[in-house]
Amino acid sequence: MVSLSQEQDSLLQCPIFDALYCAEERFEENLNVGFCFQEQKTEDFHEICKKPLAFFFEHDLFWEDDELVNLLFKEKQARLIYEEINSDGSLVVVRKEAIEWILKVNGHYGFTALTAVLAVNYYDRFVTSFCFQKDKPWMSQLVAVACLSIAAKVEETQVPLLLDLQVEESKYVFEARTIQRMELLVLSTLQWKMNPVTPISFFDHIVRRFGFMNNRHSQFLSRCESLLLSTIIDYRLLDYLPSVVAAATMIYVIRDIEPCDAKEFQNQLMSVLRISKERIDDCHELILDLMDDHGQKRCHKRKHKSIPGSPNGVIDAYFSCDSSNDSWPVTPSVPSSPEPLFKRSKA
């Protein structure tokens, strides 16, 4: 019998693998050169260690400045969607329900704060750039499930099955293939731009830039993320750039834990992030308002055209229509409409 090792050797001798091999004909002759190179690297390391710390500090600042410039540039390229949501009261309502569900499931599975923030970002961008139909009660939840699933795949190392993801008082249960098709629709609508700038991007930058690396400051970061998750449900936060939301959130937290340092911290933030005091103050007032549970939401109505009735019907209609056509073609329903969630038995 031919052993497994012999089969592998014969397979690897196939000419198609020739291009994958590196030339090592003079490996023995070059072996000593390699060791000399290692010695030189050791000497270089000792020389580097002799350089003053100011050299590394200055280098780090240059790197951090480049990172910050990229973040600030990227956040300004994003489309502002506050007005689109603010002008439609029905969208405000379905958004609130969807974000509440996302946050509950995010907590249920112990996902990171960034996973929830990304899911909310995808949801907001999708429902304001897509012909979103709010007269179908299942539409918003299907989008929420798809957005959370995508965000979890981007950020988490372990992601539950699509059916298992539908917990925490879900009104409907969708088939896995229906969610997968909606995921593709979300990805294509957002042009596969799934790494947006968020307030957490600036949390991470400021923590590193200001040297917040001990346990106390890790708690500071955790409190900032918790506060963000407590306020992100309100659409009015979309009126501010992520850098402004991040600054206002950090100031809120620092005033709570170190009131005497809050003024200096705010001045440093405005200097580093190049944000006006007025915008930070406005956003900070909104956060105070939300934490006191005084936020009020305006309601408006908008007319919509008729669309297919089932999830697959809607998705099929979108993929089959011309991308330049903003209207929805009317197609017959297909038998994969979501059913109301049955009451689960307790273990």
CATH code for the domain in which residue 106 is found: 1.10.472.10
Predicted local confidence at residue 282, as pLDDT: 96
218 and 276 inside one domain: yes
Predicted local confidence at residue 338, as pLDDT: 52
Of 136, 157, 189, the one marking the end of a domain is 189
Structural contact between residues 182 and 311, judged by C-beta atoms closer than 8 angstroms: yes
Structural domain contains residue 264: yes
Angle at 146 between CA 145 and CA 149, to 5 degrees: 85
Segments forming the whole domain that contains residue 147: 82-189
Of 243, 269, 291, the one marking the end of a domain is 291
DSSP state of 285: H
Predicted local confidence at residue 252, as pLDDT: 94
181 and 159 inside one domain: yes
Of 147, 168, 189, the one marking the end of a domain is 189
185 and 206 inside one domain: no
Q: pLDDT 10s digit of each residue in the chain, 347 long? A: 555 455 445 544 555 445 444 444 554 444 444 444 444 444 343 443 344 434 334 444 555 778 899 999 999 887 778 988 988 888 999 999 999 999 999 999 999 999 999 999 999 999 988 666 777 878 899 999 999 999 999 999 999 999 999 987 778 899 999 999 999 999 999 999 999 999 999 998 888 887 766 666 778 899 999 999 999 999 999 999 999 999 999 999 988 877 777 788 888 888 888 888 999 999 999 999 999 864 443 333 333 334 344 555 444 544 444 443 333 333 333 334 454 443 343 33
175 and 100 inside one domain: yes
User: For residues 160, 164, 168 and 170, what is the CA-based torsion angle, rounded to 10 degrees?
Assistant: 130
101 and 143 inside one domain: yes
How many Cα neighbours within 13 Å face the side chain of 97?
A: 16
DSSP state of 231: H
149 and 228 inside one domain: no
DSSP state of 214: S
Structural contact between residues 247 and 135, judged by C-beta atoms closer than 8 angstroms: no
Sign of torsion over alpha carbons 185, 191, 195, 196: negative
233 and 281 inside one domain: yes
DSSP state of 239: G
101 and 118 inside one domain: yes
173 and 211 inside one domain: no
DSSP state of 15: G
